Amino acid sequence: MNPRKPPRGFFSLKMAMDIDLLVEARWVIPVQPSLVLENHAVAVRDGRIIELLPASESSKYVAKRHVKLANHALIPGFVNLHTHAAMSLMRGMADDLPLMKWLSEHIWPTERMHAGHDFVRDGTLLACAEMLKGGTTTFNDMYFFPEAAAQAVDEAGMRAALGMVVLDFPTPYAGDADDYLNKGLAARDEHAGNPLLSFFFAPHAPYTVSDKSFGKILTYASEIDLPVHLHLAETADEVESSLKEHGMGPVQRMANLGLLGPDLIAVHMVKASNEDIEIMAGHGAHVAHCPTSNMKLASGFAPVSQMIEAGINVGIGTDGAASNNRSDMFSEMRMAALLAKGSSGRAEVLPAHQALEMATLNGAKALGMEKEIGSLEPGKYADMVAVEMAGCEISPIYDPVSHLVYCAGREHVDHVWVAGEARVEKGGFVSLDETAMIKRAAFWKERIART
């Protein structure tokens, strides 16, 4: 007697794997490896990617949520490697000024008067919202009151590496270097269990931190294995002052103090000499390139092509909205690629895929998070961004990666996921109250304007 045959498709349905999210897209661009997957899907379970597969094979999964994006490119979330997020509340407050005048006559006085827990929470949340809408899922911050920033990051549901700021002069946040360190470490301990947060030591710059304080930071960093994030070789004045005071440039000084190494993120490096580049490369330090801010403050053009050729890992940051004035990684990617070509005189320098890698995986490497984020690979968190590649301004499409860097903008971001959880859908926030954030920004604007 022949057994009765099961219905057609029975076994495939029976064996289908339950997952949380399946996203199909016209193009899936994993970044690592360097290729474009057409008509592919990404399968997500428990916040992590389990497979990239042709969309035609997606029936092997039964997803709680199945998103089909016929005209989109799916990319890793951007990693903004340098921000002062709370300074979004000072956006446009003191434009068109050189760095030290901008800092000493406008930014620092405003911070002395207004920077506090509520200011940092509101400003950071505003920045988180702007970054999420523009496809950034992780940022590396340097500002006061990291515990307030942590609250904002929690509410936004994105990732952040929060800097434990150190200065050698008092601010409303702390009185001296020891006070800064103690408060930063207390904030780190308080949020130690949050998977979206990590902490860095963040001495502001060589011209605001003494050798003694750098020594303390290095001791702590070695003991508890935490990276260091600081501004370095940003302006000609900084280099000249260092030569007069220390008899050497700021990069050499950091090397002599033992700060340079694979756990250092040096921001800007605009005035890096050939010798500085060689020193940085020899120590395996990382660089956060902030092209728009450097140009707006007339600091100059960082020698990015030379750094890359020397083997330095270079990521991209926006800097704070007070000196940019956008927390927009699409703008920074494009600017980084164009400046590298223009300053080197070589059109082939920093091609589109490399610019995208700088804005994603290179930033993750600098943060020591390349095994978790920065590319769409099985095992990594599903931090993903869907960019709509439709409309006259983005047609025709010969190379979607080229269009992401040279054509698309944050206005084309349609969906954003962090660890597989939707944060932006169809260009709007899933849970954040944009109206409330705008009202708080207006409140702080009026308060600052009265002083």
CATH number for the domain harbouring residue 288: 3.20.20.140
CATH code (residue 403):
2.30.40.10
Of 72, 29, 10, the closest CA to residue 360 belongs to 29
Q: Are residues 264 and 406 in the same domain?
A: no
What CA–CA distances, in Å, run from 100 to 115, 174, 391?
19, 22, 43
State the Cα–Cα distance between residues 82 and 380, nearest whole angstrom: 22
Q: 146 and 252: one domain?
A: yes
Measured between alpha carbons, how far is residue 412 from residues 47, 61, 110, 128, 348 in Å?
24, 29, 35, 18, 26
Residue 99 placed within a domain: yes
Residues 447, 220: Cα–Cα separation, whole Å: 38
Q: Tens digit of pLDDT per residue, the chain (451 long)?
A: 344 444 444 334 457 899 999 999 999 999 999 999 999 999 999 999 999 999 999 999 999 999 999 999 999 999 999 999 999 999 999 999 988 899 899 999 999 999 999 999 999 999 999 999 999 999 999 999 999 999 999 999 999 999 999 999 999 999 999 999 999 999 999 999 999 999 999 999 999 999 999 999 999 999 999 999 999 999 999 999 999 999 999 999 999 999 999 999 999 999 999 999 999 999 999 999 999 999 999 999 999 999 999 999 999 999 999 999 999 999 999 999 999 999 999 999 999 999 999 999 999 999 999 999 999 999 999 999 999 999 999 999 999 999 999 999 999 999 999 999 999 999 999 999 999 999 999 999 999 999 8
Among 139, 132, 192, smallest CA distance to 156 is for 132
Q: What is the pLDDT of residue 14?
A: 53
200 and 281 share one domain: yes
Q: How many CB atoms are closer than 10 A to CB 395?
A: 10
Asked whether the CA dihedral 440, 442, 443, 444 is positive or negative, the reply is positive
Structure tokens at 259: 């700060």
- The token duo for 290 is 């902030």
224 in the same domain as 173 = yes
- In the chain, how many domains are there? 2
Same domain assignment for residues 109 and 149: yes
Q: Note whether 288 and 409 are same-domain residues.
A: no
What pLDDT shows up at residue 352?
A: 98
Domain of 217 in residue numbering reads as 78-366
First to last CA, the chain: 93
Answer yes or no: is 432 within a domain.
no
Between CA 405 and CA 391 the distance in angstroms is: 16
Verify cis geometry, omega within 30 degrees of 0, for the bond prior to 362: no
Q: Are residues 202 and 98 in the same domain?
A: yes
Question: Are residue 339 and residue 222 in the same domain, yes or no?
Answer: yes
Q: Are residues 116 and 170 in the same domain?
A: yes
173 and 141 inside one domain? yes
| Per-residue model confidence (pLDDT) at position 319 | 98
C-alpha–C-alpha distance, residues 72 and 79, integer Å: 20
Q: CA–CA distance from 39 to each of 58, 68, 317, 427 (Å)?
A: 11, 10, 31, 22
Residues 128 and 177 occupy one common structural domain = yes
Per DSSP bridges, beta strands 421-425 and 428-429 are antiparallel
State whether 232 and 356 are in the same domain: yes
Contact 164, 170 (CB under 8 A): no
141 domain residue, yes or no: yes
442 assigned to some structural domain: no
For the record, the structure tokens of 414 come out as: 């349609």
Quick check: is 188 in a domain?
Answer: yes
What the block records as the tokens of 16 is 């289908």
Structural domain contains residue 428: no
Q: What is the C-alpha to C-alpha distance for residues 113 and 289, in angstroms, rounded to an integer?
A: 30
Would you say residue 358 lies in a domain?
yes
Decide if 440 is inside a domain. Answer: no
